[in-house]
Structure 1
Amino acid sequence: MAFKHITSRDNPVFKQLRKLLDQSRERKKTASTLLEGVHLIEAYYQTYGEPRLLIIPEGHSTVEATGLIQQLSDVDTMLLPTLMFAELAPVASSSGVMALVDIPEPALPEHVDFALLIEDIQDPGNLGSMLRTAAAAGVQVAYLSKGCTDAWSPKALRGGQGAQFVLPVVEAVDAIEVVNAFAGNTLALTMQGDSLYQQSLREPVLFAVGNEGAGISAALQSAVSTCITIPMAHQGTLALESLNAAAATAVALFECQRQRLLAD
């Protein structure tokens, strides 16, 4: 293990880490990103092995972080002053450990019968939450349109809580091409359409969900098999006009899981 104590913001490694924190282009160019916190680093380690670099602050880390650092004692480690570490940590109350890791290539299943297509989601926390839900519901692959926020940003990773390590995520897809190529039913979650609960979801299905404000584009609505909606109490009330995109995704995906469990 190499151990470095960095105290200057002009250090090239620190400057590179700052770029990875702030720039999607840099993450894509280097195929690497930053993880914050014990849970995310452990989830990565269990799936892909050791990170490339550990980053820790001067002073005390949490008991859990200290245990993880000891477990990964062979990994190169960078020690930073508290304020410099805080510049990298995406949260104010960090557990006291970060890691530089390689972004994995998605391992796609040979046959996909449960997929999620996300169009133009802008908020990284929303995206992470949707991927976390998809992984929990048994989705086999998540497709992200070219207009989506970066799935590997620190905020999206924190929202996903490890979902990106178990759910194949394919970024920058052409949404229409994905729909046309899918061998099964394709359903778009919209404000108006057939009820979700009237759909048979036991056969291969792809759910499409759209942007937080604009919803699914007209072109994608035209491409899918069916536009569906989630019935709500007080339907049509302006204050309840729509569910949050992440909440609507959760309802739809777990309805699919429910039907499939009942069929087993």
Structure 2
Amino acid sequence: MKTITSRDNAQYKDLVKLAGSTQARRKAGRTLLDGVHLCQSYLQLRGLPEQCIVAEGALHNPEVMDIIGQLESQRAQVLALPDALYKAVSQVEHGVGLMFLIATPERSVTGPLSVSAVLLDNLQDPGNVGSILRSAAAAGITQVYCSAGTAFCWSPKVLRAAMGAHFVLDIVENVDLAALVSASNVMTVATSGYAKERLYDVDLSVPVAWVFGHEGQGVADDLLSITTRQVVIPHLGQIESLNVAACAAVCFFEQLRQSQPGA
């Protein structure tokens, strides 16, 4: 275990940049996982991180020490920081004092859509993006495609909201969604408050590429016009619409329900 005690250390300065800047994360191709749950999930599903960063005050925590023990047994890099230095890196106010530094996967579109997928068109709230990733993974959908205007999927807020879903998903960013929809081999379904067809009247027992749009404006008109179906989720009361993450969850699990035997 290596210890850094100076704020002027070059390695420490790089960590601070990664923690605070999406631009730095994109440029470096790396991000930070903050917290025991994310770190445990990464270990289980993806393997060793590039580096583990631990606060000295967390070295008495049994869960933290169990993870560090696993890392050290496999000769992974572990970096200890005084609590004050660690807090300047961590984005979690009351965290346990454990982070992983990992490389962010670089994926690209490899062909037409042929299985169920999620397409995110200019979603800007990290919490919404993370919640959608979590719901998609829970519903058995593994492919996610994001337009250039969508929140960076490997930012700390998206990672925390997704609760480890990233590690079972194939996430492709900066995608031309219109081209992807046009070439799709599966039904493409967009949600819209102006649609006439109800979600529950559509046969969802087949693969579906779900298209969700900007929190306020919805799916862009040019993209909406080329989807196979446009559906609305009926709701009661005087609320204009559902939150996009809630909308996505309803869609995914209606598809899952229809795909079950006897549905």
TM-score category, normalised to shorter length? over 0.9
Identity of aligned residues (%): 40
**Matched letter for residue 219 of structure 2:** I
Matches within 5 A, 1:21-100: 21-61=19-59, 62-73=61-72, 74-100=75-101
1:208 maps onto 2:211 in alignment: yes
User: How far off is 1:263 after superposition?
Assistant: 5.7
**C-alpha separation between the residues in 1 aligned to 2:219 and 2:5?**
48
User: How far off is 1:183 after superposition?
Assistant: 0.6
Matches within 5 A, 1:214-233: 214-233=217-236
5+ residue gaps, structure 1, are: none
Matches within 5 A, 1:114-153: 114-153=116-155
User: How far off is 1:25 after superposition?
Assistant: 2.5
Matches within 5 A, 1:243-262: 243-262=242-261
**Closer, same or farther: CA 162–125 of 1 in aligned 2, 3 Å:** same
**Quick check: 1:9–1:15 contact (8 Å CA) kept in 2?**
yes
Q: Secondary structure at the match of 1:223?
A: coil
- Provide the TM-score with structure 2 as the length reference: 0.92
**Quick check: 2:57–2:97 contact (8 Å CA) kept in 1?**
no
Aligned CA-pair RMSD: 1.9
Q: Secondary structure at the match of 2:65?
A: helix
**C-alpha separation between the residues in 1 aligned to 2:108 and 2:230?**
29
**Matched letter for residue 101 of structure 2:** L
**C-alpha separation between the residues in 2 aligned to 1:52 and 1:32?**
9
**C-alpha separation between the residues in 1 aligned to 2:227 and 2:243?**
21
**C-alpha separation between the residues in 2 aligned to 1:60 and 1:100?**
17
**Matched letter for residue 135 of structure 2:** T
**C-alpha separation between the residues in 1 aligned to 2:218 and 2:24?**
29
**Quick check: 2:58–2:98 contact (8 Å CA) kept in 1?**
no
**Matched letter for residue 6 of structure 2:** S
**Quick check: 2:64–2:98 contact (8 Å CA) kept in 1?**
yes
**Quick check: 2:19–2:31 contact (8 Å CA) kept in 1?**
yes
Q: Secondary structure at the match of 1:75?
A: coil
**Closer, same or farther: CA 172–72 of 1 in aligned 2, 3 Å:** same
Q: Secondary structure at the match of 1:192?
A: coil
**Quick check: 2:58–2:64 contact (8 Å CA) kept in 1?**
no
User: How far off is 1:28 after superposition?
Assistant: 2.3
5+ residue gaps, structure 2, are: none
**Matched letter for residue 86 of structure 1:** K
